[in-house]
Amino acid sequence: MKTKIWIVLFIATVIFSCNKDKYTTKPQLTLKSVSSTSVIQNENLRFEIEFTDKEGDVIDTLYLDTESRLTNCPNPPSNKTFYPIPAFNATKNQKGIFEINFRVGTDFQVCQNRNDTLRFKFCLKDKAKNLSDTLISPAIAIAR
């Protein structure tokens, strides 16, 4: 009889521990899509990034960094930028999509007079100053 009770308690523990809440105090970012991994200068590039946050207070800043270059670019330009997130009706266990659109070479700089390859890094700060992990895009090839 004791064995059956322990087995039931063990199974219940496993079930409850596997059903953890996916929303955390620290914002979470997931790359849902990128419009292309190969673009030319002055072409549009779009990222869809899903966010989740337990408190729903992501109304602060989205950071972007394109400094992580994969090509040999002398004097690579720095593209560290932050974007304030506009106010919206926040709720507990908030989930949503950021759609981020860039014009290549206009909204961020690329290597001068040569093709370039880089990764985009995104980080989200919420109102309580909690930072998400850094989300890194796949390599994006940029032709001149």
Hey, what CATH class is 22-143 in? mainly beta
Q: How confident is the model at residue 7 (pLDDT cuts 50, 70, 90)?
A: low
> Average pLDDT, stretch 72-94?
81
> Average pLDDT, stretch 53-61?
90
pLDDT for 119 beyond 70? yes
How far is it, in rounded angstroms, from Cα 125 to Cα 105? 26
> Average pLDDT, stretch 72-95?
81
Mean pLDDT of the chain: 82
Return the higher-pLDDT residue of 52 and 19: 52
What are the structural domain ranges in the chain?
Answer: 22-143
Beta strands in 23-131 (DSSP E): 28-34, 38-40, 44-53, 61-65, 81-84, 94-103, 116-118, 121-125
> What is the reported pLDDT for 88?
78
Tell me which residue of 35, 33, 48, 32 sits closest to 103, measured CA to CA: 35
User: How many CB atoms are closer than 10 A to CB 38?
Assistant: 11
Overall size of the chain counted in residues: 144
pLDDT for 18 beyond 60? no
- pTM score: 0.78
pLDDT for 130 beyond 90? yes
**HSE toward the beta carbon, residue 86, CA cutoff 13 A:** 3
Are the C-beta atoms of 27 and 81 separated by less than 8 Å?
no
> At 106, phi and psi to the nearest 5?
-110, -55
> What is the reported pLDDT for 19?
43
pLDDT for 54 beyond 90? yes
